[in-house]
Amino acid sequence: MSIPKLNQFKEANFLSRVPFLAFCLFIGWFIFTFLLLPNVTVLIDTFWSDGELSFSAFERLSKSDRAIQSVLNSFLLAAVLTFTVNAVGTFIVLVTEYFDIKGANLLRLGFMSTFVFSGMVLNNGYLYVYGDSGLLTKLLLHVFPNMDPNWFTGFPAVVFVMTFACTTNHMLFLRNGVKGLDNNTIEAAKNLGSNQWQVLKDVVFPTLKPILITLVIMTFQLGLGAMAAPVMVGGDFETISPLILTFTQRPTSRDLAALLSMILGIAQIVLLVVMTKNEKKGNYMSISKTKTRVTKQKITHPVVNGIVHAVSYMLFLIYTTPLVLVVLFSFMNLQGISQSVLSWEYFTLDNYIHILTDRNSYGPLLTSIGYSGIAAVLAVLFMTLVARIVMKNRNSKLAQAMEYLFYVPWLLPALMIALGLILAYDAPSSLLFGNSVVGSVWILPLTYMIMMLPSTLRYIKGAYYSFDDHLEDASRILGASSIRTFLQIILPALLPTALALVALNFNTYLADYDLSAFLYHPAYPTMGIAIRSNADATTNINAAAVNLVYSVILMGVSSVMFYLIYGRGSQVGERRSGIKKTKKTLKTPLTETEMPKVAPGKPAVGDNG
């Protein structure tokens, strides 16, 4: 190659890498500006007193029985939920997507109710069933008059609520994994004499290993950071997050809040490192040239089949009863809500009329939809590109360090991150190009996005593990550029997971209150702020009625979101992923020169045969 041509080649190669280098610079700026500096500012503000380093928080924490007990309670809850949530979540996915269960479509609808029915809304719904004035409690009091009406409280109540409230991730990502199984592999194992349990243990679960590892990490993290359930039904069972919230609101106790947050973060990062190393030891995938969608397996043992059906419908009732009661009670007047009585005598539409016709009431809903939607889309797009870099440089220490830095939002609770942004950028900063967070509209959706990054990266990375690298190699051999390969080969394969993450992130922060209380713009209150302000005693509608109506509205908006993105979008992704239904045959036009004709009943020779 001549020197001019060599120089032209080097120049073209450099220009092709300019977008990648610019994106790497953007990643570095983002990590330092929004993930590192605000959290360091909180720690400095907390542990740097009167010009010197102070560790008095450790001594104060060690002398606080309440704080120590909350730490122990959080770890106990996280450990128990790791087993209960994953057991229930795996079971409901298998009975709706893998096994042939009667009424699977109805069961699936009930199990997916947590997509739109979660957080404080869900806990309120459970209180309408199991609380001191709940319907089930009243029925039990008729049978057992001496029973304590406050029986549904404490550690067992928290575990019960969170076990069924935290299976959303299973119905999203584990369900996608089961639907992506290769039926050829399962049938091959059955033909070799494996029973149903052996197929699950040796074929299905190993194939789903990356997703299951991610679910274990997320479940443990949810248990450590539990907030709503301990506050609503925990009683004396206090965990770390509610205590952090209490300490954060007191300037003199922020050092204790920061220290408790560090304990949460260290535990989560240790678990994350262990699981990530275990993840690299081995992952399983189908090597079949033509995948076929898994056919539902019929449980052959009649007794086991009956037990599975009974347990499935019992779980269906547990999932759906609180949701139905929230919807019904939203049409009751104040007297019916306060007495927990469903009656036509108390039926009213005034609650809905007031909220839906008042601009001050539906304005916050539009604001929350905009904030959550923007943050969800940007988080998924950003982490898809970051995960691409991480997976292409698995052995690079720099790439691993970058990955771990994006897990920084797991170190501190949302309130501490919001506090860090306020302390770090309360004045115009060059890192924000002369802007500050005080009075800004963009800071709240940006913070939503920051909180979405760790879980989004974990799930996108798990989806990359199920992608066949040979498809990418084939695309490059055929001359496609890296960008074209990513857009036409990799992105369609990741589309179901990406769209599911958009819907999940959107739903998670649609009714956020904690971050909004710190960062919202006074002219644009969010749904969480509106719920809190409308619950004031001076408003026209009682707090309980307002929360019930808003709960129903939020469930309606979230349901539409999940249908448009997760339901319809996942079907588009499946059509573009190359997975064929078993009922359809792959028709490939062949000429006589490509394959010789064979007599009926004789096997064909060659790859196509």
| pLDDT tens digits, 497-548 | 788 788 878 888 887 777 787 788 888 888 777 766 654 544 444 667 777 8
Q: What angle do CA 482, 486, 487 make, to 5 degrees?
A: 120
Residues with Cβ within 8 Å of residue 543, at least 6 apart in sequence: 534, 535, 536, 537
* Whether 503 contacts 561, CB under 8 Å: yes
How sure is the predictor about 379, in pLDDT bands with cuts at 50, 70 and 90?
very high
Most confident of 112-121, 224-233, 446-455, 532-541: 446-455
Q: What is the pLDDT of residue 470?
A: 59
Residue 607 has pLDDT above 50, yes or no: no
> For residue 30, what pLDDT band results from cuts at 50, 70 and 90?
very high
> Which tokens in the block code for residue 513?
């209150």
Q: How high is the pLDDT of residue 1?
A: 52
The mean pLDDT of the chain is: 77
pLDDT of residue 592 exceeding 60, the answer is no
Per cent of the chain over pLDDT 90 is 12
Asked whether residue 14 carries a pLDDT value surpassing 50, the answer given is no
- Collapsing DSSP to helix, strand or coil, 48 comes out as strand
> How many CB atoms sit inside 10 A of residue 159's CB?
19
| Band (285; pLDDT cuts 50, 70, 90) | very low
Q: What is the mean pLDDT of residues 65-84?
A: 90
Weakest mean pLDDT among 11-25, 170-184, 510-524, 581-595? 581-595
Exposure b/e, 69-92, CB count within 10 A at least 16 = b: ebbebbbebbebbbebbbebbbbb
Report pLDDT for 125.
Answer: 79
Q: Quick check: 360 pLDDT over 90?
A: no
Query: E strands of 445-520, at which residues?
Result: none
Residue 314: predicted pLDDT:
94
In this prediction, residue 81 carries a pLDDT of 94
Q: Distance (Å, rounded) from C-alpha 116 to C-alpha 122?
A: 9
Taking only the tens place, the pLDDT of each residue in 383-405 is 888 888 887 787 788 888 888 88
Q: What is the mean pLDDT of residues 155-161?
A: 92
**pLDDT for the residue 467:** 61
Range scoring the smallest mean pLDDT among 175-184, 205-214, 262-271, 443-452: 262-271
Between 320 and 606, whose confidence is greater?
320
The mean pLDDT value for 455-459 works out to 85
Q: How far is CA 212 from CA 86, 259, 282, 366, 502, in A?
A: 8, 31, 13, 36, 20
Collapse the DSSP code of 526 into the 3-class scheme (helix H, G, I; strand E, B; otherwise coil) and give the result: coil
The sign of the dihedral angle between the CA atoms of 6, 8, 9, 10 is positive
Cβ atoms 397, 407 nearer than 8 A: no
Q: Which two tokens stand for residue 142?
A: 């008729």
φ, ψ of residue 148 to 5 degrees: the values are -70, 120
Q: Are 383 and 571 in contact (CB under 8 A)?
A: no
pLDDT value of position 375: 93
526 close to 516: Cβ distance less than 8 angstroms: yes
Beta partners for residue 403, in sequence order: none
C-alpha 336/C-alpha 329 separation (Å) is 8
pLDDT band (50, 70, 90) for residue 287: very low
Measured in degrees and rounded to the nearest 5, phi and psi for residue 323 equal -65, -45
The sign of the CA dihedral 44, 49, 54, 58 is: negative
Residue located via tokens 């644009």? 524
Q: What is the pLDDT of residue 605?
A: 34
Residues 455 and 457: their CA atoms lie apart, in Å, by: 5
Question: How far is Cα 147 from Cα 141, in angstroms, rounded to an integer?
Answer: 6
Q: Is residue 204 scored above 60 in pLDDT?
A: yes
> What does the pLDDT read at residue 316?
94
For the residues 128-142, what does the mean pLDDT come to? 82
Give the pLDDT confidence score for residue 540 in this predicted structure: 46
Q: What is the pLDDT of residue 589?
A: 40
pLDDT of residue 80 exceeding 90: yes
Euclidean distance between CA atoms 518 and 448, whole angstroms: 12
Residue 292, pLDDT score: 66
What tokens does 137 get? 């409690």
> In this predicted structure, what is the pLDDT of residue 595?
36
Residue pair 124/551 in contact (Cβ under 8 Å)? The answer is: yes
Judged against a pLDDT cut of 60, whether residue 10 lies above it is answered with no
Helix (H) or strand (E) holding 8: helix 3-30
Give the H or E element holding residue 56: helix 56-62
| Cβ count within 10 A of residue 410 | 23
The pLDDT value recorded for residue 310 is 93
Poorest-pLDDT segment among 388-392, 445-449, 502-506, 585-589: 585-589
